[in-house]
Structure 1
């Protein structure tokens, strides 16, 4: 059952009938029975039962069991053994924690110190699997909303952007991209996509210093180039991430790195392809839209305002050389369709995509 739950999470299988089954009711009874034993409960059995229940259903865990179940899962996830079996059990525990959606009833005191310790120990000893490490981060990042103390811990103590960069770099190098085309999606690709989704949705909550941000942009650019012939979904997510980064970059970073990087050239190159994938075109235009918004924003002082106008002029010249304006205009009638399919909130007004002085 744990293996089925593992596939359910990693491969997105759905078990809509499980909640109505006698098996589900039996597992709940067993969990309650073990929970009521207090000091005498079998913690291994208890963790196994809890993982089976959570991994095979898609509603919140009954709140009264959370305070009993979470310490057991955290204990399994905190096991520092490096045996294959221990690593797999730790992976299962961390994935299970991610499927507990009751944000409002999980107080940070129930998990913060343990999850931080798991991440910090891995940073030093590399005892977790790729999926387990991503799951530990996901559990923290998804609880950042309205929690400034947790944000500071994620950014300053645990260095989320640096760690995400390292993980994506390692996965990008590990994947044999030449063999990926037409092949069944590998576990490493799924983990890579999980990192992308986590970064794309939450990057604005994990602001980093300039050097880490530059390294991260270079990493995403290399990933985009590696996946260009095989994975349209990965490429689209790369441009979604670029768009999120563009929302928070300082003018100096935009001027000195982003607009001169391969990221911008990749986007311009993609948007001009005659066989452009809809998902990729949507990602590119979202990136261009955020670029335009950033460069249209008024600066606080005259010096920065003058710099902004220079950067805008350089950007406009580069776009004109590549035929960017005609390319964007050709998508005018497809904006509504792309918004409906990809929920990217693209502007319907073409003028919003042009960087005008």
Structure 2
């Protein structure tokens, strides 16, 4: 199987499993798990923040950031294709009573001007604009990488209007690999930021949320409330430390493999791309083949290549440490054969 469904499909490597087995552990809730403490300190330094906390998932990182920095009746500003808006079960609304202003974009990257226009005037009858979230790279807009100038311009608009700025960095390190801009530079001035462990880094679970010491105190409070506090979490943190030591370079390889896949798929008649591939995610349409995305993905899966249908005609493919150069070549071959068969049919 060549699995291009998502980089969430990555499995712990042998070295990571060994590190997990050898992890020194304690009680996370009492702050005495040394491996978890080491991971949090490492990520806080990586992101240039004062402190950090290990969360069971990236979804909890986003939700806790919203809950700490808003109150019921507030509104957050996000991209219309963002993970927060589309695939977190409306948790901000369901749990925090927070509404969402979703900005329409072509590639998941909105402008400072769009944010300026979206921030509501302070009147009694409107929600209070409270937080702006940037997602870099974008999850469902083809893995777009935000230009650092745009990131900072959006941040500055939020700050000028007294809003909090949140950075959804689930795939931030893929953006770092693509641009050479450091993670700390990307999230500078943001009130909250996090990285995912369970995507490109290949860990089985978890994300690490960072911010000021005061922010992390309140993030811990919500972590308890949501049932996210753990005991001997060092076995999970050890995987994160191993990934930061051994899997960072892999992200550049993942990005390159996605570029190679993009180049091969573009040569297939009937397959169309709206934009170029910037990181480890690519998005293309099979409408020109006269079939839907689900039918195309099913036919490829029957031949051992797993794509993800994300729309009526849209396919998303994601590279990771589970997919090597041979896997990319195989995926191109299968997609070409399937497309030819569908055109003939």
The structure carrying a bigger strand percent of its residues is 2
Q: TM-score, normalised by structure 1?
A: 0.26
Q: TM-score, normalised by structure 2?
A: 0.27
Larger radius of gyration: 1
